[in-house]
């Protein structure tokens, strides 16, 4: 039913396995889906979205690929990596927010030679107008990817991920993922409804946008592309933002330490640490049964781990 073209960027299927020490610590079966290990740059969830979005850019004959986000955007870094591999020229028009210095993902952007422009605004309209201005200045055709790659087409990447998980034959009761621009959660919710019946999705919000509106819109948009009318599956939103988007939280840092000590797996302070803190919070509140299978989607973010000043943490 999905006939949208994709380019091949990542190494799929990504590994998925049960975490024995974490399961013992949390009193339920904790599994992990390692989309951080998908083989492009430092990996992460944006690769599945970009396989659709960059195929669309190629189909439209784009010369420039532009996207946006904050300074340490994993999505922008991965868009640059994917575009360069396909012979497309990346321009990252980033919001001048967060850690703009040459740290974390900015190091990778520089090593790739990706052009980075900072715009001091919080308005995406201003950002998209700047993208059009740059493209006109160059006289080149541009393909614009929204923040996080979260539009209905990009969302299909996580519908595919759920199909990939279903092929393992493991039955899941809960799936927990980070929610930053909404596409991953939306694709996970739609894909779980289609391929993993019985799995309830919790989207751990790491930003303060109105996800109760954004996520259902993306679910409907992606379902529309697929021509399915799954309706709007039930899902849960959990506020794990803490002191603010991309600002490390104490709960998130505790989750990072726990995962690293028990399982040797690296989480990040912006997304996966806070999302896993959500899973820990649910486990401690008794939301999971001892024989439940609870899947954590590791969506990447390693570059962001090396951006903040950890002397404070
Ligand atoms: C972007 C991102 C997310 C959130 O995914 P969205 O689809 O934007 O909600 C989660 N984890 C990491 C590491 C990310 O870079």
Per-residue pLDDT tens for 187-237? 999 999 999 999 999 999 999 999 999 999 999 999 999 999 878 999 999
* SS3 assignment, position 133: helix
| Ligand 1 atom with minimal separation from the 301 CA | 13
Known catalytic residue: 73? yes
| Whether residue 134 has pLDDT greater than 80 | yes
Contact status, residue 95 vs residue 112, Cβ threshold 8 Å: no
> Sheet holding 293-298: strands in order across?
16-18, 29-34, 293-298, 174-179, 200-205, 235-239
Mean pLDDT of all residues in 54-71: 98
| Whether residue 61 has pLDDT greater than 80 | yes
Q: Say which residues have a Cβ less than 8 Å from residue 72's Cβ, sequence separation at least 6.
A: 98, 99, 103, 104, 105, 106, 246, 270, 303, 304, 307
User: CA 222, CA 6: separation in Å to the nearest integer?
Assistant: 15
Instruction: Indicate whether residue 301 lines ligand 1 (CB < 6 A).
Output: yes
Q: Which residue, chain included where needed, has tokens 């974390």?
A: 104
Cα–Cα distance list, 95 to 11, 62, 83, 98 (Å): 30, 23, 20, 9
Report the predicted TM-score, pTM, of the whole model to 2 decimal places: 0.98
Contact status, residue 26 vs residue 54, Cβ threshold 8 Å: no
pLDDT given at position 2: 82
- Identify which of 298, 301, 305 to mutate to test ligand 1's pocket (most ligand atoms within 8 A of the CB): 301
Q: Which of 8, 23, 73, 150 is catalytic?
A: 73
Mean pLDDT of all residues in 258-266: 98
Mean of pLDDT over the chain: 96
Q: Say which residues have a Cβ less than 8 Å from residue 58's Cβ, sequence separation at least 6.
A: 7, 86, 88
Instruction: Indicate whether residue 23 lines ligand 1 (CB < 6 A).
Output: no
pLDDT given at position 229: 80
Residues forming a β-bridge with 297: 33
């Amino acid at each position: 039913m999905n006939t949208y073209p994709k380019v091949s960027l990542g190494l799929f299927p990504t590994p998925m396995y049960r975490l024995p020490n974490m399961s013992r610590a949390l009193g339920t079966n904790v599994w992990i889906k390692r989309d951080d290990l998908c083989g492009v740059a430092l990996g992460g969830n944006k690769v599945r979205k970009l396989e659709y979005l960059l195929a669309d850019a190629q189909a439209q004959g784009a010369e420039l690929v532009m996207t946006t986000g904050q300074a340490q955007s994993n999505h922008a870094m991965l868009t640059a990596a994917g575009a360069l591999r396909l012979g497309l020229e990346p321009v990252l028009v980033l919001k001048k927010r967060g850690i703009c210095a040459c740290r974390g993902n900015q190091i990778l952007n520089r090593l790739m030679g990706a052009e980075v422009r900072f715009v001091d605004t919080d308005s995406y309209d201003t950002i998209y107008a700047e993208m059009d201005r740059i493209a006109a200045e160059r006289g080149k055709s541009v393909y614009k990817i929204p923040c996080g790659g979260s539009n209905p087409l990009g969302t299909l990447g996580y519908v595919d991920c759920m199909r990939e998980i279903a092929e393992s034959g493991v039955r899941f009761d809960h799936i927990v993922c980070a929610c930053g621009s909404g596409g991953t959660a939306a694709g996970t919710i739609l894909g779980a409804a289609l391929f993993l019946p019985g799995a309830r999705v919790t989207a751990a919000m790491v930003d303060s946008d109105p996800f109760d509106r954004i996520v259902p819109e993306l679910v409907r948009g992606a379902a529309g592309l697929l021509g399915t009318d799954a309706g709007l599956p039930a899902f849960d939103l959990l506020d794990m933002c803490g002191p603010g988007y991309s600002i490390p939280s104490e709960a998130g840092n505790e989750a990072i330490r726990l995962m690293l000590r028990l399982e040797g797996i690296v989480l990040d302070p912006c997304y996966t640490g806070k999302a896993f803190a959500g899973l820990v919070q649910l486990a401690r509140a008794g939301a999971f049964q001892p024989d439940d299978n609870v899947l954590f989607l590791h969506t990447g973010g390693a570059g962001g781990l090396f951006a903040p000043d950890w002397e404070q943490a």
